[in-house]
Amino acid sequence: MKFIKSFLSLLTINVVLANVEVIPVSEATLQYGNDECYKEIENSVLLKECTIDLNNTENNYEEICKTVQSDKCKNFMKDPKSAFPNCKDNNTINEIFSADLIDMYNAITTLACQKDENGNLCSMSNKLLKKINISEEDIQITCKSKSCTEAAINVIQTIKDSTDTLEKASFSSGSFTDTEKTGMDEMLKFLTSNQCNLEVYNNYINNNNNNNNNNNDNNNKSDSSSSIKISISFVITLSLLLISIFYLN
């Protein structure tokens, strides 16, 4: 039960998005009608090894990421249901290991472990490991690395693609708001635009440095900086969402 809870915690969005709440899955739900299914889940070495749990693991993330990104775990996460033949008729397990939620899990895992072209953790990845809110500046920093940008785009897109699945799942209640859905669209639009690149990042940093030395910052914003229309509320929501996915148990 411990490992299925760990997996579910990666998809937990209660507290973060007030209109969507994940309902804890009980042992009785997994055991109902088929004790063998419960035993398979409990005794699964692959589920134990390939389910990321970053609680108190900031200093050994390299080892954790190496394991969850191994070919063994990647193959397991392509179709985890196939590893539990006695659970094929368990609706809860089928929902938890649905294609949408597996894609979401894999995208978040990739972002948490993602490094830039210089071998450094991406800014958003670093914040996740340290349980610190992601800021607008982190989004800007993300733009200086193609690999970091692609990981961020992938995780936001999979969250967006998984909204219906999360809302309809038996272990959740409520729905995403229009504001939250619009926020995801805004973030994707920015990250996939020409505004998200190394040059714009450098302009953003230079702008901030200039503004720190000049109280009249409203008159000193460059076109590239002022044209970036990221929803701050969504940046905060995304930050809390990703942190909760890893740390709420």
* Count of other CB atoms within 10 angstroms of residue 88: 12
Domain boundaries, the chain: 2-247
Question: What's residue 204's pLDDT?
Answer: 60
Answer yes or no: are the C-beta atoms of 171 and 94 closer than 8 Å: no
Which amino acid type is present at position 192?
A: T
* Long-range CB contacts for residues 239-243, cutoff 8 Å, separation at least 24: 239/127, 239/133, 239/134, 239/135, 240/15, 240/16, 240/133, 241/13, 241/16, 241/17, 241/159, 242/108, 242/111, 242/124, 242/128, 242/134, 242/155, 243/128, 243/131, 243/133
Entry field: residues in the chain = 249
Cβ atoms of 215 and 84 within 8 Å: the answer is: no
Residue 58: predicted pLDDT: 61
pLDDT of amino acid 220: 41
Decide if 24 contacts 12 (C-beta within 8 A). no
pLDDT tens digits, residue range 8-39?
444 443 333 434 444 444 554 555 556 788 78
The confidence score (pLDDT) of residue 129 equals 75
pLDDT for the residue 12? 41
pLDDT of residue 14: 32
The three-state secondary structure class of 83 is helix
| pTM for the full predicted model | 0.74
Per residue of the chain (249 residues), give pLDDT as tens: 333 444 444 444 333 343 444 444 455 455 555 678 878 888 888 888 887 765 655 667 888 889 889 999 999 988 888 998 988 888 888 888 888 888 888 888 888 889 999 999 999 888 877 777 777 788 888 988 999 999 999 988 988 888 888 778 776 667 777 877 887 888 888 899 888 876 666 666 666 666 555 544 444 444 444 344 555 555 555 655 565 555 444
| pLDDT for res 95 | 82
The answer to whether 204 and 225 have CB atoms below 8 angstroms apart is yes
pLDDT at 237: 59
